[in-house]
């Protein structure tokens, strides 16, 4: 079974790092501080999360606390899915 973190990692590598797997992308790597994803990229990421995991990300949830690393995204998506 592929984890949320692994799926999001693959999406980020393909869409923001253009396939460069040599870039260090740990679970806690900040997308914003590392300049991996900018504000437009966040919208692409949210669209991916909503489409892939069947969740709806509210405007107030588009926050670095939820979306700024693989670990934060995995936790956020898991909570959203648990709420149904």
Worst-scoring range by mean pLDDT, 12-16, 21-25, 69-73? Answer: 21-25
Categorize the per-residue pLDDT at 84 as very low, low, confident or very high, splitting at 50, 70 and 90.
confident
Mean pLDDT of the chain: 94
Delimit the domains of the chain by residue range: 4-79
Cα angle: 39, vertex 23, 50; to 5 degrees: 40
Give the Cα separation of 31 and 41 in Å (integer): 10
How confident is the model at residue 19, as a pLDDT?
Answer: 79
Helix, strand, coil % over all residues of the chain, rounded to 5: 55, 0, 45
> In this structure, how many other beta carbons lie within 10 angstroms of the beta carbon of residue 76?
20
Tell me the pLDDT tens digit for each residue of 48-77: 999 999 999 999 999 999 999 999 999 999
Distance of CA 1 to the CA centre of its chain: 18
CATH tag for 4-79 (out of 1.10.1200.10, 2.120.10.80, 3.20.20.70, 3.30.450.20): 1.10.1200.10
In terms of pLDDT, which residue wins out, 2 or 66?
66
């Amino acid at each position: 079974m592929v984890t949320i973190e692994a799926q999001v990692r693959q999406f980020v590598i393909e869409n923001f790092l253009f396939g460069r797997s040599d870039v260090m992308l740990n679970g806690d790597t900040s997308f914003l501080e590392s300049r991996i994803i900018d504000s437009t990229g966040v919208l692409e990421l949210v669209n991916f999360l909503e489409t892939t995991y069947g969740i709806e990300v509210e405007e107030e949830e588009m926050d670095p606390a939820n979306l700024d690393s693989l670990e934060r995204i995995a936790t956020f998506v898991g909570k959203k899915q648990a709420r149904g």
